[in-house]
Amino acid sequence: MEDTPLRPGQHDEVARSVQYERSPGDDQPWTHVAEPLQPGFRVNQVRRVVRELLETALFILLIFFIVRGMVQNFKIEGSSMEPTMHSGQYILVNKLVYFHFDLNAPLRLMPGQEDLPQRIIYPFHQPRRGDIVVFEYPNDVAKDYIKRVIGLPGDSVEIRDGKVFVNGQELAQPYLGGASTYCMINSACQTGPLVVPEGHLFVMGDNRANSSDSREWGPLAFERVVGKAWFVYYPLSEWGLVPHYDYASLADAHQPPAELAFEP
């Protein structure tokens, strides 16, 4: 008898099914013919690998930007902070410690509130006297400078007889190694006490004879401050925390406005 002809499409079904080359016998094992891979299987595998690689790359970038937003590395160039810090040192700068925001910023989006004044809040603390800070040079923001905070907003800073006075009190500065402080020629500090404006700092390098600082170009705006010099990581012989000095005698001489800073 002749074989029954296959229905249309039945040949394809048979081709896709598991086939055997011969019938099983007592002395012959089953011979299995594997089903061929679907055409899109390899493409899907490649797509899955590419997707996983992209997700990993995006995750690494996200972590990088988060860390970069909190800590940044800098190289010290120049001798303006001698003898405290030296040219060629690599440091980490804590950018998170001076994090701040304007409490009234969302309110200014409301109709009629465009002229609402700023209320700047520092969840941790604003820069303090004695902090060594990295900032954008006011006359060229492409350059980063490093100096020490001497005066806070509202402080009266005066330089006379080679000494520094803040709010009428002489500033103890053992980190200078006995060096004197003088004003630059034709600078504002030569005319008498200088009151630091709100939202600004008075900064100076520890190498007073070789430092471009607030004596030359005036008070530094808060928004120019990048962060607080925190850690020296190279050279390894100088590895450790950046030294900080507290002016205990001035602790109560001036308190910043409550809206400018608070600590949890």
Please list the helix, strand and coil fractions of the chain in percent, rounded to the nearest 5, in that order: 25, 25, 50
Instruction: Reply yes or no on whether 87 is catalytic.
Output: no
Collapsing DSSP states into helix, strand and coil, what is residue 52? helix
Tokens encoding 33:
């013919």
User: Under a CB-based contact definition with an 8 Å cutoff, are residues 154 and 248 in contact?
Assistant: no
Backbone torsion region of residue 66, taken as left when φ is above 0, otherwise alpha when ψ lies between -120 and 50, otherwise beta? alpha
| Calpha distance 148→133 (Å, rounded) | 6
Catalytic residue among 95, 147, 211, 228: 147
228 burial via Cβ count (<10 Å: 0-12, 13-18, 19+): buried
Instruction: Reply yes or no on whether 80 is catalytic.
Output: yes
For 20, list phi and psi in degrees, rounded to 5. Answer: -130, 140
User: Under a CB-based contact definition with an 8 Å cutoff, are residues 217 and 206 in contact?
Assistant: no
Catalytic residue among 17, 23, 79, 80: 80
Catalytic residues: 80, 147
